[in-house]
A = this chain, B = another copy of it.
């Protein structure tokens, strides 16, 4: 059996290894998990013994195939639950993360199959992130940062990187939801900020915000 803590570590390792393409380092993981490096080392040993990760002392960890299966199954559950919360229970976009963090650990194959069916086998969650299938296959989206678009370019928002509640609230307010089309009016080279239009309304976005919005390539 795999514990809740173990599942969370594997999920974090997966996300971190998607971001940077190196091995995941102890300190990165400690920060992501909101814990101390020493605790991470302890857990790394356990996960390594159980063959969920491969681990070279001082040089970080990588998921094994077995570990990736677990991570993707947790992510699948997380994203299906988020979809449920938004589509069926009427949660807003920015409220679902915390609850889904809990729901993703419910152990029941049947439940997830039924939920998937009930939701009509969605391919992406409310943030636009792809939902892995039963076998852990995940469709890599062709995504680029809004920040990289040139003035005049328009594209569909597919996801938001950060899951910070403040950011999500803000994006929700200005209508920057996945599925929406966003157009770059102008971009200031000196600070990376940009003026964009969504729903025919204009907004100024800071560099930080525009780097957190992902659009179709």
Contacts and interface: CB of A to CB of B under 8 A. Distances in A.
Interface of A: 85, 88-91, 95, 98-99, 102-103, 106-108, 110-111, 114-115, 118
Nearest to A108: B99
Contact of A106 (B91, B99, B108): B99
Interface majority SS on A: helix, strand, loop or mixed? helix
A114 B114 CA distance: 20
Nearest to A95: B110
A103 to B, nearest CB: 6
A98 B111 CA distance: 11
Contacts of A85: 111, 114
User: What are the 10 closest A-B residue pairs judged by CB atoms, nearest first?
Assistant: A89-B114, A99-B108, A102-B106, A99-B111, A89-B118, A103-B106, A88-B118, A90-B114, A89-B115, A102-B107
A107 B91 CA distance: 15
Given A89-B114, A99-B108, 15 more contacts: A85-B111, A85-B114, A88-B118, A89-B111, A89-B115, A91-B110, A91-B114, A98-B108, A99-B106, A99-B110, A99-B111, A102-B107, A102-B108, A103-B103, A103-B106
A109 to B, nearest CB: 10
